[in-house]
């Protein structure tokens, strides 16, 4: 199943040089992967779970490294939607409701180059915290987002 269709405008030029932009985006529900296809033939393949736990959003990464939130129970997360954001990023809407991360093409390139190391570090963080990738694991309860307090006026 293909992702969003768009016209490839060629590599974009930014202040730092050329930004690598995919020519196609493929969403495979069976293998639970998102694949970016580049003009040079390179395919960058990312499991949905990996993209979810590595979301660039402040909700996940925090505003500083100390504020980063360990993402637990995301093994079964899927992608509900993809939206192009201008010519520079992709917004991914996940089946758990998370949709605040904008994945720039540069961030995808960084994830592609460091996927193995990042995944190993994530698994080690889960282990150290006593948490799990499994959504129904009771060990994850302390890491689940707390409900926001309402203002009482609604």
User: What is the share, in percent, of the chain residues with pLDDT greater than 90?
Assistant: 68
pLDDT bucket at 1, cuts 50 / 70 / 90: very low
What's the whole-number mean pLDDT along residues 132-139? Answer: 93
Residues 6 or more apart whose Cβ sits within 8 Å of residue 105: 12, 19, 20, 21, 22, 88, 89, 90
Cα 84 to Cα 132: distance, rounded to the nearest angstrom? 31
Instruction: Please name the residue ranges forming H helices in the chain.
Output: 48-53, 58-61, 105-129
Q: Does domain 12-131 have CATH number 3.40.640.10?
A: no
Both tokens assigned to 61: 């990464």
User: E strand or H helix at 115, and its extent?
Assistant: helix 105-129
Both tokens assigned to 23: 């020519």
User: What is the share, in percent, of the chain residues with pLDDT greater than 70?
Assistant: 83
- Please indicate whether residue 86 or residue 66 has the higher confidence score (pLDDT): 86
């Amino acid at each position: 199943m293909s992702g969003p269709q768009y016209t490839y405008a060629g590599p974009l030029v930014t202040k730092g040089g050329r930004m690598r932009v995919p020519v196609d985006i493929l969403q495979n529900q069976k293998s639970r992967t998102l694949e970016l296809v580049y003009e040079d033939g390179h395919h960058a393949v990312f499991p949905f779970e990996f993209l979810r736990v590595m979301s660039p959003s402040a909700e996940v990464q925090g505003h500083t490294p100390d504020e980063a939130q360990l993402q637990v129970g995301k093994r079964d997360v899927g992608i509900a939607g993809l939206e192009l954001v201008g010519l520079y990023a992709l917004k991914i809407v996940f089946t758990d409701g998370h949709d605040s991360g904008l994945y720039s093409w540069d961030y995808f390139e960084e994830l592609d180059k460091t996927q193995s190391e990042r995944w190993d570090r994530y698994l080690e963080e889960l282990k150290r915290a006593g948490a799990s990738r499994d959504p129904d694991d009771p060990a994850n309860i302390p890491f689940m987002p707390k409900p926001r307090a309402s203002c009482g006026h609604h």
